[in-house]
């Protein structure tokens, strides 16, 4: 049923596209630099401010009384340094559930309406959390340095948010506030005084398929090296593609990058907030504070940074534009499509049923869909009290065993419920998943899912493309290997997804239960879109069906032999078929 020539023809454009991708490499943009020293920032004054704030507000859960009182104090300090201050209240989903949060914005008008925005959140999950509060202390020291009577070329905005301890609700409100405004750059301050370093120190990630502009990242990294001698820790190519395949970040820059704003997080503790008892360092505060001031000075006097958030990949100092991986991954779908079109046409000519096997494959996805629907239901109805709209550190949202059990139980019950309908479909289609129509139907479903993922996120689709190519030959009867090898191929093809899950767990310090809980929260909180988890549910159902087909193993010799009981079209019945006749004998 499978004609390899169509597959080979589809591979020809791949070589051409590889050449195009090779010539698509670009030089990275240069960082914006300044020769002005950032001596005006006083680390000792910032540390004294940190001590006062930490002693006055030791517990600062998002939206509580202490958080609101701290917001009022920050607003008063900003006014005292010459900033025009406005506050607003917005509702946000946090680690405390849905809360009313205060957004404090101090603005100092420059000669240009284009804005440089500096952001720091003031809340914390644990008591004390001096390292996490150091971003706010640095923000207030910056207000003293750049406040009246100093003037900047670009308008400067200093913003205090709440909800940054998990869910980034304040950053989401700020993204709405900045909508339609001309923003040159957004610098998000994390735990700038944390003593223990965790890279990357300059975090560019988004909660969607995107990343902060490379020029902005390089500008902040250059300022960091100049003031501290530290390397910001630029992510490697594999880390970049992994982040694009599974978008998400714990930093407040995520929602801002999602909104198309050029934003990065600067934090000594990296992407995740430090522990509540993490020590702080005056030297770190001094170096990081000077870094921020130097970056602001460079951005204020330099050219505007283009707000490009497309998922480009940096490899060995060269930039691969986002369209190149998309084109390459898309063209890899072509060989499988041509082979499947031919296999489908052959099946139709031979009157082999395909439709029932499409249903059989899709029914296998029902348990995964039901589990995801239950998770989303828990988030929408409030049965899951905490469901932030963005990823949150696992320590701030304790695992709910009851919720996990409910989701798993829903999936198991759905699997039991669809077992009988699947058996009926198999019986209607001929009674054997080893039939050619089953493999063709499964591959059509898997190709459609991969194509849909490629449209939205080509890096996610890359996880399924190896399965498409290998299963094309591993599942169809004429090429299907024996059962043992077939099961090995099924396991091998799960390696990309398993490797990515292992990498995510290692990056965020998650064990298997934490990883499952994080996935549940992403669905319950709406971070993972319904379309994405629906497509991945169908892909999981196709994997289950593929294992069922591989378990049947290679067709046994003689299975397709037909016992001849009479002469007919299947055999030769012409002259001589009954042996020699006298008239045909040599005389």
- CA dist 458 and 312 (Å) reads 12
pLDDT of 301 reads 83
pLDDT at 415 over 90: yes
Confidence check: pLDDT of 120 > 50: yes
Residue 204 or 570, more confident:
204
Question: Is the confidence at residue 165, as pLDDT, over 60?
Answer: yes
What are the residues facing 189 on neighbouring strands? 120, 266
Question: With 60 as the cut, is the pLDDT of residue 564 above it?
Answer: no
Asked if the peptide bond before residue 149 counts as cis, ω within 30 degrees of 0, the response is yes
Please provide the DSSP assignment of 162-180 as one string: S-TTTT-HHHHHHHHHTTT
d(CA 562, CA 178): 74
User: Is the predicted pLDDT of residue 579 greater than 70, yes or no?
Assistant: no
Residues 6 or more apart from 366 whose CB is under 8 A from it? Answer: 414, 415, 417, 418, 541
**Least confident range of 215-219, 235-239, 430-434:** 430-434
In this structure, are residues 210 and 255 in contact, taking their beta carbons and an 8 Å threshold? no
Q: 310 pLDDT exceeds 90?
A: no
* pLDDT tens sequence across 231-285: 888 888 888 999 999 999 999 999 999 999 999 999 999 998 899 999 999 999 9
Select from 360, 487, 520, 529 the least CA-distant residue to 432: 360
The kind and range of the H/E element at 64 are none
- Whether residue 200 is preceded by a cis peptide bond, meaning omega within 30 degrees of 0, is yes
| E strands in 194-294 | 202-203, 263-266
**Contact indicator for 191, 289 with CB cutoff of 8 Å:** no
Residue 237 in contact with residue 88, Cβ under 8 Å? no
Q: Which of 243-257, 331-345, 554-568 has the lowest mean pLDDT?
A: 554-568
pLDDT band at 585 (very low <50, low <70, confident <90, very high): very low
- Residue 39: name the closest of 145, 154, 191 by CA: 145
Helix (H) or strand (E) holding 59: none
d(CA 447, CA 465): 9
Q: What are 453-497's pLDDT values in tens digits? A: 999 999 999 999 998 998 888 887 777 778 788 788 777 778 888
CB-CB contact of 281 with 194 (8 Å) = yes
Return phi, psi of residue 577, to 5°.
Answer: -70, -20
Task: State the average pLDDT over residues 216-227.
Answer: 93
Residue 30, Cβ density class (10 Å: 0-12 exposed, 13-18 middle, ≥19 buried): exposed
The residue assigned the tokens 């104090």 is 73
pLDDT, average across residues 388-394: 89
Average the pLDDT over 322-329 and give the result: 93
* C-alpha dist (Å) from residue 486 to 451, 464, 498, 553: 25, 17, 19, 7
Tell me the average pLDDT across 557-580: 46
State what percent of residues in the chain have pLDDT above 90.
Answer: 57
The sign of the dihedral angle between the CA atoms of 260, 504, 271, 123 is: positive
- Is residue 193 within 8 Å of residue 131, measured between CB atoms? yes
Nearest of 277, 354, 368 to residue 58 by alpha carbon? 277
* pLDDT band at residue 23 using 50, 70 and 90 as cut-offs: confident
Task: Name the average pLDDT for the chain.
Answer: 88
Distance CA 287, CA 24 (A): 38
Q: Which residues contact 412 (CB under 8 A, 6 or more apart)?
A: 367
Q: Is the pLDDT of residue 448 over 60?
A: yes
CA 67 – CA 276 distance, rounded (Å): 16
Q: Name which of 266, 267, 154, 263 is nearest 213 in CA terms.
A: 263
Q: Which domains does the chain have, with CATH numbers?
A: 43-315 (3.40.630.10), 355-552 (no CATH)
How sure is the predictor about 35, in pLDDT bands with cuts at 50, 70 and 90?
low
169-175: average pLDDT: 95
HEC string for 189-215? ECCCCECCCCCCCEECECCCCCECCHH
Does the pLDDT value for residue 577 go beyond 60? no
């Amino acid at each position: 049923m499978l004609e390899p020539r169509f597959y080979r023809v589809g591979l020809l454009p791949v070589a051409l596209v590889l050449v195009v991708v090779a010539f698509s490499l670009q030089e990275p943009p240069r960082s914006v630099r300044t020769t002005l020293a950032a001596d005006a920032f006083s680390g000792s004054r910032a540390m004294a401010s940190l001590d006062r704030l930490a002693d006055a507000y030791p517990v600062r859960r998002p939206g509580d009384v202490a958080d609101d009182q701290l917001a009022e104090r920050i607003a008063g300090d900003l006014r005292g340094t010459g900033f025009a201050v406005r506050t607003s209240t917005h509702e946000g989903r946090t680690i405390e559930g849905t809360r009313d949060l205060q957004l404090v914005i101090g603005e100092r008008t420059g000669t240009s309406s284009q804005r440089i925005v500096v952001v720091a959140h003031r809340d914390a999950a644990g008591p004390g959390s001096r390292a996490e509060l150091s971003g706010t202390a640095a923000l207030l020291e910056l207000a003293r340095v750049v406040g009246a009577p100093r003037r900047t070329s670009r308008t400067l905005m200093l913003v205090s948010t709440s909800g940054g301890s998990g869910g980034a609700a304040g950053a989401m409100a700020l993204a709405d506030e900045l909508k339609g405004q001309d923003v040159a750059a957004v610098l998000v301050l994390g735990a700038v005084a944390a003593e223990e370093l965790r890279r990357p120190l300059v975090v560019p990630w988004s909660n969607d398929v995107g990343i902060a502009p490379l020029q902005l990242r390089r500008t902040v990294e250059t300022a960091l090296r100049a003031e501290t001698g530290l390397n910001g820790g630029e992510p490697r190519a594999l880390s970049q593609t992994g982040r694009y395949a599974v978008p998400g970040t714990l930093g407040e820059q995520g929602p801002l990058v999602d909104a198309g704003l050029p934003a990065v997080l600067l934090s000594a503790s990296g992407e995740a907030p430090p522990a509540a008892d993490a020590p702080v360092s005056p030297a770190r505060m001094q170096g990081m504070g000077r870094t921020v001031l130097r970056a602001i000075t460079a951005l204020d006097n330099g050219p505007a940074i283009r707000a490009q958030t497309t998922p480009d990949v940096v490899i060995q100092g060269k930039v691969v534009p986002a369209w190149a991986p998309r084109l390459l991954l898309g063209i890899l779908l072509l060989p499988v499509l041509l082979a499947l079109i031919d296999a489908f046409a052959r099946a139709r000519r031979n009157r082999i049923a395909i439709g029932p096997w499409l249903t059989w494959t899709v029914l296998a996805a029902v348990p995964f869909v039901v589990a995801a629907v239950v998770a989303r239901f828990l988030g929408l109805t409030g049965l899951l009290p905490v469901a932030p709209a963005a990823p949150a550190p696992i320590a701030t949202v304790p695992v709910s065993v009851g919720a996990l059990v409910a989701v798993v139980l829903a999936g198991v019950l759905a699997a039991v419920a669809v077992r009988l309908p699947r058996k009926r479909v198999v019986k209607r289609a001929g009674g054997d998943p080893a039939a050619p129509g089953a493999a063709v139907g499964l591959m059509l479903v898997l190709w459609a899912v991969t194509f849909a993922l490629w449209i939205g996120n080509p890096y996610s689709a890359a996880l399924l493309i190896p399965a498409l190519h290998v299963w094309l030959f591993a599942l169809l009867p004429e090429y299907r290997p024996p059962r043992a090898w077939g099961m090995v191929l099924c396991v091998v093809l799960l390696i990309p997804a398993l490797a990515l899950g292992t990498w995510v767990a290692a990056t965020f310090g998650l064990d298997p239960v934490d990883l499952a809980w994080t996935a549940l929260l992403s669905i319950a909180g709406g971070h993972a879109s319904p379309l994405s988890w629906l497509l991945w549910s169908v892909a999981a159902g196709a994997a289950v069906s593929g294992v069922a087909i591989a378990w049947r193993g290679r067709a046994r010799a003689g299975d397709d032999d037909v016992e001849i009981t009479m002469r007919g079209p299947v055999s030769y019945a012409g002259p001589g078929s009954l042996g020699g006749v006298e008239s045909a004998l040599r005389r």
